Amino acid sequence: MAHQAIKTVSIRKFNGADASEQPDVLAVEEPLEIRLEYGPAAKRSTKSLSVTMRTPGADEDLARGFLFTEGIVREASDIAGLRAQPLGNVLTVVLRPELHFEPSRLERHFYTTSSCGVCGKSSIEAVKTTTNCATVSEKRHWEIRPDIIYSLPDTLRQAQRTFDATGGLHASALFDPEGNLLAIREDVGRHNALDKLIGHYLGQSIMPLDQHLLLLSGRASFELLQKAAMAGMQVVCAVGAPSSLAVETAESFGITLIGFLRDNRFNVYAGG
């Protein structure tokens, strides 16, 4: 599945009274269909799970992270393999035959997004039924200096190579408590960027991510806080604003949520 993350196009650029033909670089957006192969060895079944618009690259991490944050798999060993179609944007995730999986879950599982229309309490309770993350009382105490938090956006920005070329991508980045960048993933979809990041660590059997800081390049939505909770994250920082349901989710799971982190200032919305 060799695809490019950027594409060069020809544009006509206007600047005041001047116009010229110039090349420009765009972030690629293509669909990825994620299929699921499941069931006992003697009777395997395959079902289309999701189609997401993403920036090509780290597709296997994206699929791993997506299945993990939706509660379909709990650990790397639940996935027996991943199979890509050579001529299309299709990736099949093969579950191990011993893993009990009820396919009827799929029809009622994918409703907990920020635009789904269900109430906040129902959305948060849906996350609680699938997450393994620690309760508020189990979480360890954190002390993070403000200067470390202030430094995160600049570190992230310097590492956003594809954003530098296109200006059109979201990013999710993981830091240690001292502010050292550990990993970054970019995508046209902010949820995809986080799934890629989580899937990267799931593939290495590094979970939960409860000793790390997460930085989001844009706003903090419920969907992103849901994924962070599934991965056991305790500190989530966002360059942009949080939604009301994101704050409620952070409070429910004992997550410290920081928003408007830029220009040496930030707001603490939960878990201060």
C-beta neighbour count of 154 within 10 angstroms = 10
Rounded distance, CA 215 to CA 97, Å? 36
Enzyme catalytic residues: 116
Q: Count Cβ atoms within 10 A of the Cβ of residue 210 and give its class: 0-12 exposed, 13-18 middle, 19 or more buried.
A: middle
Distances (CA, A) of 173 to 143, 202, 212: 20, 15, 10
How far apart are alpha carbons 121 and 205 in whole angstroms?
31
Q: Round to whole Å and give the CA distance between 209 and 194.
A: 13
